[in-house]
Amino acid sequence: KKNADIDQRIQKVLDEIPDGININWSHLARKYNVPYQRLLARSKGRSTLQSRPSGTLKLTDAQEYALYTCVERLDQLGVRVRIPMIISCVNYILFRAYDSSCSTSTSRNTLRANPRWAKRWIQRKITIF
């Protein structure tokens, strides 16, 4: 609740700032009683903690959908999907998504699924099992 209140005050500060003038961010932070670093970061376009995507997600929405349809298709064919199959499929999706020319792309070995991740994925997608 405290963070939400601070975020509302920061948004109020940002909404009231006229365009095209030099701004003393530390003065505004003291005036509105908000953290200076957070105000400065939000003024530069960083979103709130609640609106940012999770940093622990391995798959994008498209990759998640690809895995879901793969598992669903195997189920339609009568193949019993096991955890090692899910792990293999996820690691293949992550391997194919790796772009060595992109500076923001993580190394191939960084994002790898393991049995714990697969079990949690199954728990989140309980409707297909």
- Alpha-carbon span 19 to 42, nearest angstrom: 15
The verdict on 67 and 35 lying in the same domain is no
15: domain range?
A: 2-43
- For the whole model, what pTM was predicted? 0.54
**Is the CB of residue 55 less than 8 Å from the CB of residue 110?**
no
Taking the mean position of all CA atoms in its chain, how far away is CA 84? 25
The pLDDT of residue 18 is 82
The pLDDT of residue 46 is 86
Neighbours of 37 (CB within 10 A): 10
- Alpha-carbon span 48 to 4, nearest angstrom: 9
The verdict on 36 and 66 lying in the same domain is no
The pLDDT of residue 112 is 82
10-residue mean pLDDT profile of the chain (129 residues): values are: 85 86 91 93 85 72 91 92 93 82 53 87 78
* Nearest by Cα to 10 from 91, 90, 36: 36
**Is the CB of residue 19 less than 8 Å from the CB of residue 48?**
no
The verdict on 95 and 121 lying in the same domain is yes
The pLDDT of residue 98 is 74
The verdict on 73 and 121 lying in the same domain is yes
The verdict on 68 and 124 lying in the same domain is yes
The pLDDT of residue 54 is 66
Query: What is the number of domains present in the chain?
Result: 2
